[in-house]
Homo-oligomer: A and B are copies of this chain.
């Protein structure tokens, strides 16, 4: 059997938490890949050719065919390397629907709130914090249901919703530092705090996540470049 892993390339950035999604999935499946680092201030020709519609990373290139959008890539990985590693989406259709629902919910809510809390988008910080915490409380309840008493949304293993949520949670500590507020607290969402500790310590995750210091430095650099007068 041909090794499907040899023709896999991932176009992304080590600072991009959306790029971490397919990287976690490829790690879980044990698929080898070439990582092609993008610069945030200058898009590569390969990225522009591979994702002409959105011109955004990450893009997975498998046997010269590009797949775009982080969670679509995760699902592609799950469906392509079915016999490698654990299944990323749960087997039961209802559980799959719940994973997709809460993933869509998280992608709908968290990025816009995080942008307000970190500063690039003007907004009411206390109100954004309140909405963020309310969303976490909904996910705390979802975790109790989806995990069936286990650690992860996927049960004993990291699954689709864990990967989706991990990319938003990766921003939490950096956001807390940048905004000088607390978002994730044991008193409010104890199960999510425990989930977060286990997720970021997992072997498929811990070595590829940018550190809080790197994210704070990255946001500070982007802000200062964007606010600098044009030369």
Binding site for B on A (CB under 8 A): 53, 62, 65, 67-69, 72-73, 75-76, 79-80, 93-94, 96-97, 100-101, 104-105, 138
Contact = CB atoms under 8 A, between A and B. Distances in A.
Contact of A93 (B80, B93, B138): B80
B104 A76 contact: no
B79 A138 contact: no
A136 to B, nearest CB: 14
A65 B65 CA distance: 38
A6 B138 CA distance: 31
Q: Is the interface of A mostly helix, strand, loop or mixed?
A: helix
Given A53-B138, A69-B100, A73-B97, 11 more contacts: A53-B105, A62-B94, A65-B94, A67-B94, A67-B101, A69-B101, A69-B104, A72-B104, A75-B100, A76-B93, A79-B93
A65 B98 CA distance: 11
A96 B69 contact: no
Nearest to A68: B101
A175 B138 CA distance: 37
Contacts of A67: 94, 97, 101
B53 A72 contact: no
Contacts of A75: 96-97, 100
Q: Which of A97, A100, A104, A138 has most chain B Cβ within 10 Å?
A: A97
A15 B76 CA distance: 34
A124 to B, nearest CB: 22
Contacts of A65: 94
